[in-house]
Amino acid sequence: MGGTVNPQISIIIPTLNEQENVSRLLSSLAAWQEQGDEVIVVDGGSSDQTVEQAIAADTVVKTRRGRALQMNKGTTCCRGRIIWFLHADSNVQFFAREDILNSISRGFDWGYFGIRIDASEGIFRVIEGGMNIRSRCTGIATGDQGIFVTKSLFDRVGGFKGIPLMEDIDLSKRLRVFGSPAICRRTITTSPRRWRQGGILRTIVTMWFLRLAWFFGVSANKLARIYGYR
């Protein structure tokens, strides 16, 4: 669909059993493709209809499971000068394209968005507010926040490390060495499913513990074994 020889933005979406989300997300990205951007879906071995539902993507790549591995794989076939990593359960608006391009034109080599959780309960306003304040204070983003980066800088830092979790935080820390991020004030929306599936309080505590343990030197592989991450 994208069609141009040199797209400005390559949107890379890692998937695993996302049949209910991927077609919706791709529909919202059609306007980007009309502007010449490309959309790459990298599937990690879905057992549902994710790959079939991703027909609107410009490229669908299959690889082994693992978000870092999948996103790195996507960058090997992307053609854009800017890469945008996007989760399949995100809800994005076309304004995000302008925000990304404006950020790069202002001299930023990477950045991310504020986050809004797609749920009405007040507790989610507290959660997202804490996430947004933390990311603004630290210059560190999570994958839910839609990290974008120039291809040249991504290659310079060596891409994502092949770790089973914390790959987004690790990448942010290495990108930050080369310059501060553009933190877009407008938000992208993410699903509340991980909090609903794991329990809101339990998920909050688990995520904070994982971040603290990793900060104090516990390896991502060990944390993944402890908590059963795949």
Taking the domains of the chain in order of start, what are their residue ranges? Answer: 9-193
State the sign of the Cα–Cα–Cα–Cα dihedral 186, 5, 27, 56.
negative
HEC per residue, the chain: CCCCCCCCEEEEEEECCCHHHHHHHHHHCHHHHHCCCEEEEEECCCCCCHHHHCCCCCEEEECCCCHHHHHHHHHCCCCCCEEEECCCCEECCCHHHHHHHHHHHCCCCEEEEEEEECCCCHHHHHHHHHHHHHHHHHCCCCHHHCCEEEHHHHHHHCCCCCCCCCHHHHHHHHHHCCCCCEEEEEEEEECCHHHHHHCHHHHHHHHHHHHHHHHCCCCHHHHHHHHCCC
- Enter the pTM of the model: 0.92
- Residue among 152, 162, 145 nearest 100 (CA): 145
The pLDDT profile of the chain, 230 residues, written as one tens digit per residue, is 545 567 899 999 999 999 999 999 999 999 999 999 999 999 999 999 999 999 999 999 999 999 999 999 999 999 999 999 999 999 999 999 999 999 999 999 999 999 999 999 999 999 999 999 999 999 999 999 999 999 999 999 999 999 988 999 999 999 999 999 999 989 999 999 989 988 999 888 888 888 888 888 888 888 887 766 54
Domain covering 9-193: architecture: Alpha-Beta Complex (3.90)
